[in-house]
Structure 1
């Protein structure tokens, strides 16, 4: 092998050059190893994401009862979720930088303890004899701290998958961690209506939701000891990412990335709006909190988890991320249309539950698949930066959708006032708690039409315009060919093969190929077309 090097056949001393990721071939293939620790880190991250999403959506399934407890308007209760998005945008920019410069472990430590303290503050806000102003200020402070933590947690799945998992498990790992977000939503949709029968039960609900936050902070502190493994699980995991600001510059000039930014971020925002308004959309038409929260929320999330796992397994095996994403988006928007036109019809429990299950089944896979598309489209930009900005797009669009949709809501018509179930499934409980006036009930039919229109618009953009080259996958294929070449060269040296200057990965003694031509293959080259996505 040394003789081959001395003849100038191939120089393995060159380092990684970000401007031409194809030149990764110039570096000797890294030693690949996977560690069982990766599953523990994935488990802890999943617990934290689940807990954070539970806290964010906790008041949504019992919005009118929560408004009674805190003696405030329903719009203020909606702000408990909106505040996550408001603080999440500046926090997300900070999170991308911290995760890039300081590492995964310290990002998880910071976010877990922020969320833990926020959860404790929410519990304190519900303590009896706390004044109205103090109670509302304390619960908002708790939401702000958890909202600051959310981007750190939501940016982490792609980072954990890239640093700790081999290439045939990355989409699955991403799906498991990302699915914890809707699982948390489902848990809150189930537990909140079950626990909260009267306004005074809000304290019990918040104590229950604080438990996994405390557990997650303890597990991170005790069990996550390093940001990345000693040996990489894949060839791309060893690659040093772009410096932060250089990565931002490359993202700004990447047209396909901006389509993901708009369309996948829009999918996140739409899903967020549906989960926030689900109870408020259904209860004016005679559907109780239990049906809206437990039944529909469970169908929405369980359908999503099943769909996400199926899509993740298929994507890992076929690598057809774009095709699977487009199909998911198309059928998800069809399911949103189904829900839009059936939700305000009375006694349609089965059809409404089915529509929620279909929205989850086709909608949830967009999150992990979108993360994988982001990395493939922007490689070697730091994954926390590229995927994190898409999540921030989802936060921004979700916040705007919630603000606009609640403005479009109208008072329920008098003829429907007697059928509403918007306060509690227990009719013996006064709907207003300590308030002197009832919380007004709103018809969100126009809001649901607007949500569907926006969903169809960004779906059409994604289906028609999005095309991308799988840059990370191309680089890994090039490194695989490099490894095959090195093995072939070792075999030939052992057999004392003479004047062969360079050996191709599929060596033919009658048709030797100079391997030095292979590094010049760019990830956007014609030789990479096999990994170019087409719908």
Structure 2
């Protein structure tokens, strides 16, 4: 085919030692590769970059919709009469429904394929964003926005758990980590976009509006109509118009995604890009059970899911956390943007290094989390005034946390898939992200406790980041999937 690239899968930097048992591996290859044709071709296609970019666009858009209201919390509270707890709940819906729907959607991805899964994802995002455009009247809008958050959360099960499946289905071994990073990074860029686009389109309310609105939030919901009428008497028309413009923009972007998926997004390439891509995976239920008893995978599961889940939730309510130190929602938005963008660059860099220097992911992760711990200690000491406060230092420390934690995510995905092989990539990454969502749900749920404050957030973040280090130290890395692919190519030279 015109867009086919037949390439050797052997990296010039790869070490053949450690996978010289050609007999057993060759037996697995010969007996379990039903997707290979009679010519037993291994091919990679140029169209794989289109597939990963469309998938990445879905991840970006779903994340931007999820992170819509946190960066403009003060404006949303002024327009709709919400509280900090209600802002946190909008983010929390994504985590809650992920926990509920991860298992069936992971089954859908592994059994029905990527096209069916992506169509479901795109349709759900369109429904969610269109629903938010119906009205800006506070009472019905609040209901619709919460329902939309639930639908978008279901869509997130595809975009969040799918990066490793896309890379394994379409990319050769020496590009898998990079491909995983691309779709993961675009998801984080969607979060970054929320930190910037929201504050740019939605004006920040003045202090008088905030003060009056706080009084209204204490009104009984039985008097909702009267409260909303008083709220409408306050001049929040600019904030309301900005919010609706943001809703329209995100809806238009979601319609474009659906068109791209409908026009072309195949389930798999005509020929597999690697030997392991042609080998059938463990049955779905058997794979789920296997992961729950896989000691090495469970270490990766906790080392990834706990700190990344807490940090994602922490970033979603960063404006709430920093409000009492006179950080505006615009300033908090820029902090979140730079932290996420820095993490995106780090993720691409570390993943490319992982492709170049295979079997070194554990060392890279340990380095990232030692540095993340140092940055988190710095941030917490500044935030809680244990050391002299500095706006510049607060910016730098938080950005560095984002660089080191977000930079680790694609490596965790790939290392988890290597550890659990031959369990399918969809269920493996789904399990990883399930724990990520579970810890984020617990974190955001604590915000619902009356008068809980925000100091606990900072200690929680620090504790979870530190915990990842001993888990990684005791983890014994292995690269079964890579060994099979590289053995085949090495033995054929």
Q: TM-score, normalised by structure 1?
A: 0.76
Matched, 1:77 2:84: no
Q: How far does residue 409 in structure 1 lie from its aligned partner after superposition?
A: 6.0
Provide the secondary structure at the position in 2 that maps to 1:395. Answer: helix
* Aligned with residue 290 of structure 1, among 322, 327, 330: 330
Aligned to 1:429: none
The alpha-carbon deviation at position 365 of structure 1 amounts to: 2.1
Give the 5 Å matches for 1:135-214.
Answer: 135-197=141-203, 198-200=238-240, 201-214=242-255
The structural deviation recorded for 1:253 is 2.3
Once the two structures are TM-superposed, the CA of residue 481 in structure 1 deviates from its matched residue by: 4.4
Query: Matched residue of 2:271: which SS?
Result: coil
Alpha-carbon distance in structure 1 between the residues aligned to 2:258 and 2:443:
32
**Corresponding residue of 2:16:** none
Pairwise CA distance, 1:25: 4.4
Do 2:302 and 2:468's aligned partners in 1 also have CA atoms closer than 8 Å? no
Question: Structure 1's 156 and 446: CA in aligned 2 closer, same or farther, altered over 3 A?
Answer: closer
After TM superposition, give the deviation of residue 454 of structure 1 in Å.
Answer: 2.9
Asked if 1:23 is matched to 2:27, the reply is yes
| Structure 2, unaligned runs of 5 or more | 1-23, 204-237
Query: Aligned pair count?
Result: 426
Separation in structure 1 between the aligned mates of residue 118 and residue 25 of structure 2, nearest angstrom: 30
1:255 aligns with 2:295: yes
Cα distance, 1:406 vs structure 2: 5.9
> Using the alignment, how far apart are the partners of 2:354 and 2:448 within structure 1?
37
Identify the range of structure 1 (164-173 vs 198-207) with the bigger mean alpha-carbon deviation: 198-207
Give the number of the structure whose alpha-carbon radius of gyration is greater. Answer: 1
Kindly indicate whether residue 320 of structure 2 is the aligned counterpart of residue 310 of structure 1. Answer: no
State the SS of the aligned residue for 1:180. Answer: helix
Name which structure has the greater RCO, CA cutoff 8 Å, separation 6+. 2
Shift of the alpha carbon at 1:273?
Answer: 1.8
Distance in 1, matches of 2:449 and 2:27, equals: 54
Kept in 1: contact 2:383–2:389 (CA 8 A): no
Instruction: Show the counterpart of 1:369.
Output: 411
CA distance change for structure 1 residues 348 and 303 in 2, over 3 Å: closer, same or farther?
A: same
Contact conserved, 1:268 with 1:395, CA < 8 A, in 2?
Answer: no
- Secondary structure of the 2:196 match is helix
What's the counterpart of residue 376 of structure 2?
336
How far apart are 1:205 and its partner, in Å?
Answer: 1.6
The partner residue of 1:300 within 306, 331, 339 is 339
Name the residue aligned to 1:383. 425
Q: Give the one of 84, 88, 98 matched to 2:108.
A: 98
Could you list the per-position Cα deviations for residues 459-497 of structure 1 after superposition, in whole angstroms to 9, with x for gaps in the alignment? 23323321121110121233234434xxxxxxxxxxxxx
Q: 1:264 aligns with which of 285, 301, 304?
A: 304
Query: For 1:135 and 1:298, how far apart are their aligned partners in 2?
Result: 27
Is the 8 Å Cα contact of residues 71 and 199 (structure 2) preserved in structure 1? yes
**Residue in 2 aligned with 1:465?**
474
Q: Within 2, Cα distance between the matches of 1:194 and 1:347? A: 27
Sort the Cα spacing of 1:375 and 1:21 in 2 relative to 1 into closer, same or farther, 3 A.
farther
- CA distance, structure 2, for counterparts of residue 217 and residue 121 of structure 1: 16
The answer as to 2:118 corresponding to 1:108 is: yes
Alignment match of 2:284 (pick from 244, 256, 261): 244
Offset of residue 26 of structure 1: 3.7
Distance 1:452 1:402 in 2: 16
Shift of 1:450: 2.7
Matched-pair contact (CA < 8 Å) for 1:285–1:344: no
1:23–1:229 Cα change, 3 Å: same
What residue number does 1:474 align with? 483
The change in CA–CA distance for 1:24 and 1:289 in structure 2 (over 3 A counts) is same
Change (3 A) 1:140 1:22: farther
Cα shift readout 1:77-104 (whole Å, capped 9, x = no counterpart): 1111000111111211111111111111
Q: 2:174 is paired with a residue of what secondary structure?
A: coil
CA contact (8 A) 1:67 1:73 kept: yes
| Shift of residue 307, structure 1, vs aligned partner | 0.8
Q: Is the 8 A contact 1:117 1:142 kept in 2?
A: yes
Task: Give the 3-state SS of the residue equivalent to 1:46 in structure 2.
Answer: helix
The equivalent residue for 1:232 is: 272
Is the contact made by 1:282 and 1:344 (CA closer than 8 Å) also made in structure 2? no
The residue correspondences of 1:320-331 to structure 2 (distance < 5 A) are 320-331=360-371
Contact 2:73–2:329 at 8 Å: present in 1 too? no
Deviation, structure 1 residue 142: 0.9
**Structure 1: stretches of 5+ with no match in the other structure:** 1-19, 411-442, 485-535
